[in-house]
Amino acid sequence: MKKTGKFIFQKYDTENLINRRAALVTIAKAGVFSVLVGRLAYLQIAENSNYKKLSDKNRITHRFLEPERGIIFDLQGRPMAINKQKYEIIIIKEETKDVEKSLVNLKSLLPHANIDIEKILKEVNSRKKFIPVGIIDDLTWEDFSKINVNIHKLEGIYPQIGFKRYYTQGESHSHLIGYVSPISKNEEESNPLSKLSTAKAGKIGVEKAKDAILRGKLGNKNIEVNASGREIRELDRVNSVQGNYIQLTIDSELQKFCYERLKGLSGSVSVINVKNGEFYALASSPSYDPNIFSKSISNETWENLLSDKYKPLINKSISNQYPPGSTIKPFVALAALESGVSHKETFFCDGKHLIEDTSLESGYKTFHCWKKEGHGNVDMTKAIKESCDVYFYQIARRIGINKIAEVCKRYGLGEKVFKSLYEEKSGVVPNKQWKLENLGSRWMVGETLSAGIGQGYFLTTAAQLSLALAQLINNGTRLIPKLIYDNKTSNIYNERIIADPRYLKIIKNALDEATNAPGGTSYRSRIIGKYKMAGKTGTSQVRAISIKEREEGLIKNKDLPWEKRDHGLFIGYGPTSDPKYAVSVIVEHGGSGSGSAAPIASDIFKYLFEKKLNLKRNEIFNV
Amino acid sequence: MFNQNNFYSSAFAKLQSINYPLLGLIITLFFVGLAVLYSISNGDFNSWPLKHSQRFMLGLIIFFLVIFFDLRLIFGYAYVIFFLSIISLVIIPFFGIESNGATRWINIAGISLQPSEFVKYTLILALAKYFHSINNDSSFIKTLIIPLIITIVPVLLVIIQPDLGTALIILLGGISLFWISGLNYKYFIVGVFSILCSLPVLWQYLKDYQRDRVLTFFNPERDPLGNGYHIMQSKIALGSGGIFGKGYMEGTQSHLNFLPEMQTDFIFTMLGEEFGFIGTLLLLLMYAALIMISIRLALKSRSLFSKYLSLGVCNVFFIYVFVNIGMVTGLLPVVGVPLPFISYGGSSMLAVMFGFGLLMNCYINRNIIIEKTNY
């Protein structure tokens, strides 16, 4: 061993050297093996629980299960909004390396399908990476199975069976029931269904108002998937819970009848039960097919709906506000009676009424009656029957705007009828304070006169008018307006009397004469038979008529462009013997109430009377 | 001299003197591999398990063929065999089969072989002959440069294929023989030092994907969907196996395809997932036993050539096992080295059986004395 360090290869004592060096190598090998064993012990024993979690994360995927939406029934128990099975395709960002590549593959697989890759990419990137995003909403069975066969090429893409909303009544009910479409960004927080991008939410109508009840609860499941994302088996599942059913007080046949009767016109109808506040119809025309929203709607269709001058997307029974015109007169008359005006007191009508107005050159302002030659001596009954404006100018001036406003508000005008429908408008019942607050100026006497015939600042909706009339006709019982049927509160009267029955009798009688006595404004639309209707017409101006125009002679409505024609209104009740229904009809730019709205109301009452005054009902509850 | 009777009696004597514990271990390891492959193919024997068995049978034939050759003949033709294997590497760029961007295979009579697998053993053969023959008084150039060249040439040829993993094993196997044959340890110190210094230069010559693999090895999270994916998924599979494993044919990482190349390079992971720490430990013990027996057999030979050859084969085998397991457990970069006897792969199976044939031949002929030649 003395020579150590001087040799290149040690060639003496080789036997020992080999043994020594082999031993060193063996020790080194043993060391390496120990390291390997240690490493394995570390991975498989010490870190086992960590890696177990990672392994489960690999193989187990969490999926939310879309709940079926609650069904909406009508009063007779007919399903109006139901769910149909559909085949859809979704993508989950987290589960693919390349979203775009998967989408391109999908597109090449379904060349005829309308897949906007850029739009989907945008949508995918704007959401959390584990949220599935819908690609194709409604697929044929053939395409669906094609996807299933080629799923290995479509990383992160999954075919699934979902539900689509279907509206059995089509366009006749679309405003009222509304429609559903994908949950929007600002709804995400409040809607637990937003974890599922394919989930829908009600956007308008009852679908929106009762969305929380209808939507149901998400289910979820854990599934085992392989590396390419194909589902191998289901590990566990919590089923989704279907949303609750809702039964409306709407009678779908009546609603359809009303809608059909409005065909070709722009307007609305509201039918209410005067005894219990149930709304049987809330129709609006023109309309749209709510089922187009179940598929993704094209921009063009949407733009057309938005720009249509007849405003098909608006529910005209609650969302469009109109000056009530002469239909306000029964309420003004009631205000007069309550203010001590005798119904027998007469006023003289010579076709116009003058009030002082120093701002004008002539020193006075003229208010015209619709009847140019005047009504002569007019008492309250005649004033309502023949709709004398001069009578109402004078009593309005006497009792003042605040009294008129107080009575109107008491009957529900200027206030939303259904608190839950988001798109409903409240209307306006003006008074001095209202003007000061909203327009910042003092009330003028002339404005009281305009208000007396339902013009000026006055705005109401069809639903409001029907409710107000119903409460007038049922001897002043305040009603709880009902659109959603529920057996807990139905048929229970709210006992608060809101008017003196004697006064109401006078007005009811005047309304009866307005329809059923010769000379009444709606005499032509009267119903001859066992049951009769009664009601008040109204014609509300949409433009101011200038003095010059009046001197030159009024242009007839039919000669004016559509947008400038007067609105035609009618509020009525029936049967007169024992009132059960109140109806309001508004025909936008229909010319006059007696010409356009009253005949429609008449037909609706005929329909109701034929049904022997009893609409069939069939309670459906799973609440 | 060579009559039939004599041949049979000597063949019988050779069969008798085989070390059966070693052969038994080899067969046991084959069956372990067969069982794992059976699981990978989801119980379909006709796919991987069948081919694996056929290859093992072929391997056994090679094993016995090598045993029956006279050791002196093998010694005599050692350089020729080495030279032929180098030729097969040289022709690869011209006749080779390309796969995954690397040209490693050649087609011989319909069977594609990977010559680099055999070079591991032919290099040992050549070096053993060389070191057996040198004298103490040889000059520096003759004694050190020539074997270095013998070693570097196949390493370079394999690197350009490119196959870094196999090149490394060839290099380490060769260097281990330098050590065994008594090269002054000072050269090793100088060698290690100069390799460390030349690493930055070497880095320049690595292919992009090789650099990626090395970088990813040091930080698997760097690219969890690319190269790091293999290491991550392998570690997850092993780790989730726990002590007792998920059960035979129950591995989720493997059966749900999260694990890459599980029938070849990552087969150990598959075993670890299904049989747990108990399984991996048992397999490691089997390998350790195989290596211990090999060393014991090697040291019984009287000639230096036999000792060098046997120990060299044993070292190459050890490096195989270490690199593969080190790789799948995340201790080493992913370099694509199969696990001997277990991994599905023809060339590696045949080569390792060739190697152990040489080792067994040396053991059977342990008392033969081989004269030095003029290398």
DSSP 3-state of A579: coil
Q: Of all residues in chain B, what percent carry a pLDDT higher than 90?
A: 48
CA distance readout (Å), A209 to A169, A484, A576, B362: 19, 11, 35, 91
- The residues, any chain, with a CB within 8 Å of residue A226's CB and separated by 6 or more, are A59, A232, B256, B257, B258
Residues A263-289, mean pLDDT to the nearest whole number: 92
> Given CB atoms, is A28 within the 8 Å cutoff of chain B?
no
For testing contact with chain B, the best of A3, A27, A44, A61 (most B CBs within 10 A): A44
Which region among A492-496, B90-94, B292-296 has the lowest average model confidence (pLDDT)?
A492-496
Q: Are A534 and A572 in contact (CB under 8 A)?
A: yes
- The residues, any chain, with a CB within 8 Å of residue B33's CB and separated by 6 or more, are B52, B267, B339, B341, B342, B343, B344
Task: Give the one of B186, B277, B318 whose C-beta lies nearest to A41's C-beta.
Answer: B277
Cα distance from B86 to chain A (closest Cα, Å)? 26
Distance CA A389, CA A449 (A): 9
| pLDDT(B67) > 80 | yes
| pLDDT(A339) > 50 | yes
Pick from A474, A57, A93, A521: which is nearest to A327 by CA?
A521
What band does B49 get if pLDDT is binned at 50, 70 and 90?
very high
pLDDT, residue B224, reads 59
Pick from A311, A206, A304: which is nearest to A266 by CA?
A311
> Given CB atoms, is A623 within the 8 Å cutoff of chain B?
no
Residues of chain A neighbouring B253 (CB-CB closer than 8 A)? 55, 58-59
Distance CA A413, CA A462 (A): 10
Q: Would you call B256 and A226 a contact, using CB atoms and an 8 Å cutoff?
A: yes
pLDDT tens per residue across span A241-260: 999 999 999 999 999 999 99
What band does B219 get if pLDDT is binned at 50, 70 and 90?
low
| pLDDT(A16) > 70 | yes
| pLDDT(A623) > 60 | no
| pLDDT(A10) > 80 | no
Q: Would you call B176 and A43 a contact, using CB atoms and an 8 Å cutoff?
A: no
Residue of A nearest to B310 (CA): A22
Residues A144-163, mean pLDDT to the nearest whole number: 84
| pLDDT(B318) > 90 | yes
Task: Give the one of B179, B256, B280 whose C-beta lies nearest to A44's C-beta.
Answer: B280
| pLDDT(A466) > 90 | yes
| pLDDT(A57) > 60 | yes
Residues of chain B neighbouring A25 (CB-CB closer than 8 A)? 176, 179-180, 311, 315
Q: What is the DSSP letter of A482?
A: B
DSSP 3-state of B84: helix
Task: Give the one of B135, B180, B236 whose C-beta lies nearest to A51's C-beta.
Answer: B236
Q: Who has greater pLDDT, A5 or A273?
A: A273
Residues of chain B neighbouring A151 (CB-CB closer than 8 A)? none
Distance CA A597, CA A570 (A): 5
Q: Who has greater pLDDT, A617 or A164?
A: A164
Q: Would you call A55 and B143 a contact, using CB atoms and an 8 Å cutoff?
A: no
Q: How many other β-carbons are positioned within 10 Å of the β-carbon of residue A123? A: 17
pLDDT tens per residue across span A182-239: 888 888 888 888 888 778 899 999 999 999 999 999 999 998 888 766 778 888 999 9
pLDDT tens per residue across span A440-458: 999 988 899 999 999 999 9
Distance CA A412, CA A399 (A): 20
Distance CA A153, CA A256 (A): 49
Q: Are A460 and A322 in contact (CB under 8 A)?
A: yes
Q: Are A197 and A63 in contact (CB under 8 A)?
A: no
Cα distance from B296 to chain A (closest Cα, Å)? 10
Distance CA A418, CA A461 (A): 12
Q: Would you call A9 and B140 a contact, using CB atoms and an 8 Å cutoff?
A: no
| pLDDT(A613) > 60 | no
pLDDT tens per residue across span B321-368: 999 999 999 888 877 789 999 999 888 999 999 999 999 999 999 988
The burial of B193, by beta-carbon neighbours within 10 Å (0-12 exposed, 13-18 middle, 19 or more buried), is given as exposed
Q: Are A579 and A274 in contact (CB under 8 A)?
A: yes
What band does A407 get if pLDDT is binned at 50, 70 and 90?
very high
DSSP 3-state of B98: strand
Q: Would you call B288 and A17 a contact, using CB atoms and an 8 Å cutoff?
A: no
Element (H, E) at A180: strand A180-182
- The residues, any chain, with a CB within 8 Å of residue A200's CB and separated by 6 or more, are A69, A165, A180, A181, A182, A183
Residues of chain A neighbouring B239 (CB-CB closer than 8 A)? 43-44, 47-48, 50-52, 54-55
Q: Say if strands A567-574 and A581-587 run parallel, antiparallel, or are unpaired.
A: antiparallel
pLDDT tens per residue across span B247-275: 898 888 888 888 877 888 899 999 999 99
What band does A489 get if pLDDT is binned at 50, 70 and 90?
low
Residue A471, token pair as written in the block:
């409460």
Q: Would you call B242 and A58 a contact, using CB atoms and an 8 Å cutoff?
A: no
Taking one residue from A and the other from B, the number of pairs with CB-CB distance under 8 angstroms is 148
What band does B100 get if pLDDT is binned at 50, 70 and 90?
low
Residues A508-520, mean pLDDT to the nearest whole number: 93
Rounded to the nearest 5 degrees, what angle is found at the Cα of B67, between the Cα atoms of B62 and B72? 125
DSSP 3-state of A122: helix
Task: Give the one of B182, B187, B329 whose C-beta lies nearest to A39's C-beta.
Answer: B329
Residues A324-340, mean pLDDT to the nearest whole number: 94
Distance CA B52, CA B45 (A): 10
Residues of chain A neighbouring B281 (CB-CB closer than 8 A)? 37, 40
pLDDT, residue A12, reads 67
| pLDDT(B101) > 70 | no
pLDDT, residue A622, reads 45
DSSP 3-state of A441: coil
CA distance readout (Å), A345 to A384, A388, A511: 13, 14, 18
Q: What is the DSSP letter of A190?
A: T
Residues A301-306, mean pLDDT to the nearest whole number: 88
pLDDT, residue A160, reads 83
Distance CA B157, CA B83 (A): 13
The burial of B203, by beta-carbon neighbours within 10 Å (0-12 exposed, 13-18 middle, 19 or more buried), is given as exposed
Q: Which residues pair with A272 in a beta bridge?
A: A279, A582
Pick from A72, A107, A70, A69: which is nearest to A89 by CA?
A107
The gap from C-alpha A509 to its chain's centroid, in whole angstroms, comes to 37
Which region among A238-242, A338-342, B7-11 has the lowest average model confidence (pLDDT)?
B7-11
User: Looking at A25-118, which runs of residues are DSSP E strands?
Assistant: 60-65, 72-73, 79-91
Pick from A191, A217, A232, A228: which is nearest to A64 by CA?
A217
pLDDT tens per residue across span A593-609: 888 999 999 999 999 99
Q: Would you call B236 and A10 a contact, using CB atoms and an 8 Å cutoff?
A: no
Pick from A395, A374, A372: which is nearest to A451 by CA?
A395
Residues of chain B neighbouring A231 (CB-CB closer than 8 A)? none
